[in-house]
Amino acid sequence: MSVVRIVANLASADVQGMAAFYGDLLGLNVLMDQGWIVTLGSDDLGPVQLSIASQGGAGAVVPDLSVQVDDVDVVYARAQEMGYDISYPLTDEEWGVRRFFVTDPMGRAINILSHM
């Protein structure tokens, strides 16, 4: 037996609004839309990971979701252009990631990162 995929499920009364936030910010495609649930993604499969943390590193809160992108600077600029709340500034961390936190419409801390 092996785990094939882990899917993050985010509760929201505004499913379409949340889908637009993540789709627009991260350039994700709608893979499924049942009205009450929208699944976003890409054709690329990544490794299966689940993180469990007591803190978010460097004094940050534990993020609700971490999203690794190929160019964090591009996503950071997009988040700023869209006027989204940046709750942790773009930072080069000592453990080898460049990241920032953005707050989604439901108030969740989203860690957007690239490995340096």
Predicted confidence (pLDDT) per residue in 40-63, tens digit: 999 888 888 889 999 999 999 999
Q: For the chain, give every domain's residue range.
A: 15-43+61-115
pLDDT tens figures, 89-98: 999 999 999 9
The whole-chain average pLDDT of the chain stands at 95
Element (H, E) at 32: strand 29-33
Could you give the 3-state DSSP secondary structure of residue 72?
helix
Beta bridge partner(s), residue 115: 97
CATH superfamily of 15-43+61-115: 2,3-Dihydroxybiphenyl 1,2-Dioxygenase, domain 1 (3.10.180.10)
Cα radius of gyration (the chain): 14
Higher pLDDT, 104 or 51: 104
